[in-house]
Amino acid sequence: MAEFSIIDRYFKKNIVQQQDVILGIGDDSALISPPLHQQLVVCTDTLVSGRHFPVDTSAHAIGWKSVAVNLSDIAAMGAKPHSILLALTLPAIDHEWLESFCQGLFDCCAPYQVDLIGGDTTQGPHLTITVTAMGWVESGQAITRSGAQVGDYIVVSGQLGDAAFALAHPNHPLRQRLDYPTPRCELGQQLVSLASSMIDISDGLCQDLSHILQASHVGADIYLESLPIDSALHDLPLTEQWQYALAGGDDYELCFTISPQHYEKLCQLTTSPAFTVIGQIQSKLGLNFMHHQQKQMLDLRGYQHFA
């Protein structure tokens, strides 16, 4: 089956929902009418089989995750997701696989009204999926990594460490959290003009929070007893729980900094999805771990210290 029949059969059948998509799949490029007073937010992420997901991951989950990780980056800027491009490299044509891959991809797009508006389909030695996501944010309102202020709370959405635990225990029910991360698109947009900085957690909290600290020229205290960790992990030794929650990766939760006053406002605005204060920004550079007010020295695998 030629490239064109695959495009027609699997990708062109999706009906573009948004009126500002003037041209979707089928021409040399897609065409979008940008809304007034908005900035385009754009990001891309590649998933390689065996590297970014276990080889036994279902086609449906791969389709979902390839969209979710990108929408998570859009959410982390405070932007509203709009559309995606899909560059797909397939070792062979497997119709059953393509059918459920597309289903997973569209299932992740649907709740956020995101349209697939183009892409590229090629044959190659390894299954590789690159999604490019686009979104809009009010001009000048994007939430970057560089705005954290001394005294701000450090807050995370959802739970930490579920996906890393599932990677080590592939048959555990938490596998769902590894295969089907939830991009926090609504929360991200609600944080515009409230959060001072934001990032999404893909490489583990410490790694990703340290990007905020470096960009903002500040340090942080982390309260280990406050980390939102699933009850399935509570029987593990504390250091192992912290390892998953702080350095695990693949969480796709939001980590943001917010002044105590703005945090009050946020709590009045929404409490869903759950979010938790896990620390506070300090002027002293570096990352401090506290457990019930006692300083803890942690040696986290996969976490590179700085400062």
What gap in Å lies between CA 279 and CA 154, rounded to an integer?
5
In the region spanning residues 3 to 32, those forming contacts with ligand ADP, defined by CB under 6 A, are 7, 11, 25-28
Q: How far is the CB of 24 from Mg ion (least distance, A)?
A: 15
DSSP secondary structure string, 151-206?
T-EEEEES-SSHHHHHHHSTTSTTHHHHHS----HHHHHHTTTTEEEEEEESS-HH
Q: Which partner from the list Mg ion, ligand ADP, none does 109 bind, CB cut-off 5 to 8 Å by kind?
A: none
Q: How far is the CB of 189 from ligand ADP (least distance, A)?
A: 26
Q: Can residue 88 be called a binding residue for ligand ADP (CB under 6 A)?
A: yes
Cβ atoms of 84 and 67 within 8 Å: the answer is yes
Cβ atoms of 174 and 166 within 8 Å: the answer is yes
Q: How far is the CB of 225 from ligand ADP (least distance, A)?
A: 46
Show the tokens assigned to 138.
């009010």
Show the tokens assigned to 301.
């695998």
Cβ atoms of 241 and 291 within 8 Å: the answer is no
Return the range that interacts with ligand ADP (CB under 6 A); candidates 48-56, 117-125, 257-265, 293-301: 117-125
Q: Where do we find the tokens 């089956």?
A: 1
Binding pattern for the stretch 160-199 against ligand ADP, x by CB under 6 A and - elsewhere: ----------------------------------------
What gap in Å lies between CA 6 and CA 130, rounded to an integer?
17
Q: Which partner from the list Mg ion, ligand ADP, none does 165 bind, CB cut-off 5 to 8 Å by kind?
A: none
Q: Which partner from the list ligand ADP, Mg ion, none does 28 bind, CB cut-off 5 to 8 Å by kind?
A: ligand ADP
Show the tokens assigned to 120.
């590229």
52 is in an annotated binding site: yes
235 is in an annotated binding site: no
In the region spanning residues 92 to 121, those forming contacts with Mg ion, defined by CB under 5 A, are 120
Binding residues: 28, 44-45, 52, 73, 119-120, 145, 200, 202-203, 250, 303
Residues in contact with ligand ADP by the rule CB under 6 A: 7, 11, 25-28, 86, 88, 116, 118-121
